[in-house]
Amino acid sequence: MTSVGRTRGALIVFEGGDRCGKTTQCGKLVERLQSQGVDACMWRFPDRSTAIGQAINAYLAEHSSMDDAVIHMLFVANRLEKREEMLQLLAGGTTLVLDRYSYSGVAYTAAKGVPHLSLEYCKSLEVVLPAADLVLHMSMTAEATAARGGYGEERYEKVDFQRKVMEIFGALRDDRWAVVDASSTIEAIHEQVVATVMPVVERARGGAPLGRLWD
Ligand code: 2DT
């Protein structure tokens, strides 16, 4: 998409089911990148701080209910409202580490199995957003994540549903994805993540073009 010059930051995304350790790994990665002199910051989607994000938060906490198509649009809008800022940061050389992105957007909605919310339809709403340079797929069985602390507090934390989400993540994988065994230790995962991310940061710095979803 946009030409961002020779020193752009990389767009690194962590995806996976609930409670698989994405947030911990995002934080550790940003710290490591910064310690190595890479300008980096972490964002989460949904971004619950905006007005749209607050409506999403109420839905996830089961304080409100919404039509499946409407909540899907809100998740998309929550990314679109950050699009400009995202592109500017990347163009300015900041590497963005995202805790979920459009891949969660399409996987969680398509997993509901609502006929008019197919994977293809969901994907079509995201095409104006940049593609990740790298998606780190924190892979773990739905049963194993369910055994982790805090599981079940939010709307989608149900084993059968998570199993469907994981199947769809599997189907979305392409050569920009790297699979990480999320059942491993925090430090072992972190080292694997760093080894996978560094060459991608270098490629972006060297001028590799930013892609567009789902080209
Ligand atoms: P966490 O904040 O704990 O990751 O949970 N989700 C997320 C969607 O259904 N669509 C989306 O576009 C995104 C980004 C995944 C957030 C929950 O919201 C789901 C789990």
Cα 127 to Cα 44: distance, rounded to the nearest angstrom: 19
CA of 198 to the centre of ligand 1 (A): 26
Q: Give the mean pLDDT of 32-40.
A: 97
Output the residue whose Cα is nearest ligand 1's atom 11: 105
Q: Give the mean pLDDT of 195-205.
A: 98
Boundaries of every domain in the chain? 11-205
Residue 3 has a pLDDT of 44
Q: Give the mean pLDDT of 167-194.
A: 97
CA of 98 to the centre of ligand 1 (A): 12
In this structure, are residues 38 and 84 in contact, taking their beta carbons and an 8 Å threshold?
A: no
Closest ligand 1 atom to 19 CA: 3
Residue 106 has a pLDDT of 98
CA of 161 to the centre of ligand 1 (A): 13
Q: Is the interface score ipTM higher than 0.95?
A: yes
In this structure, are residues 162 and 18 in contact, taking their beta carbons and an 8 Å threshold?
A: yes
Encode pLDDT of 76-127 as tens digits: 999 999 999 999 999 999 999 999 999 999 999 999 999 999 999 999 999 9
Distance of CA 38 to the CA centre of its chain: 20
Residue 2 has a pLDDT of 45
Closest CA to 184 of 15, 25, 11: 25
Within 6 Å (CB) of ligand 1, which residues are found? 18, 45-46, 60, 75, 100, 104-105, 108, 156
Architecture of the domain delimited by 11-205 = 3-Layer(aba) Sandwich (3.40)
Encode pLDDT of 134-167 as tens digits: 999 999 998 998 888 888 889 999 999 999 999 9
CA of 37 to the centre of ligand 1 (A): 30
Residue 1 has a pLDDT of 53
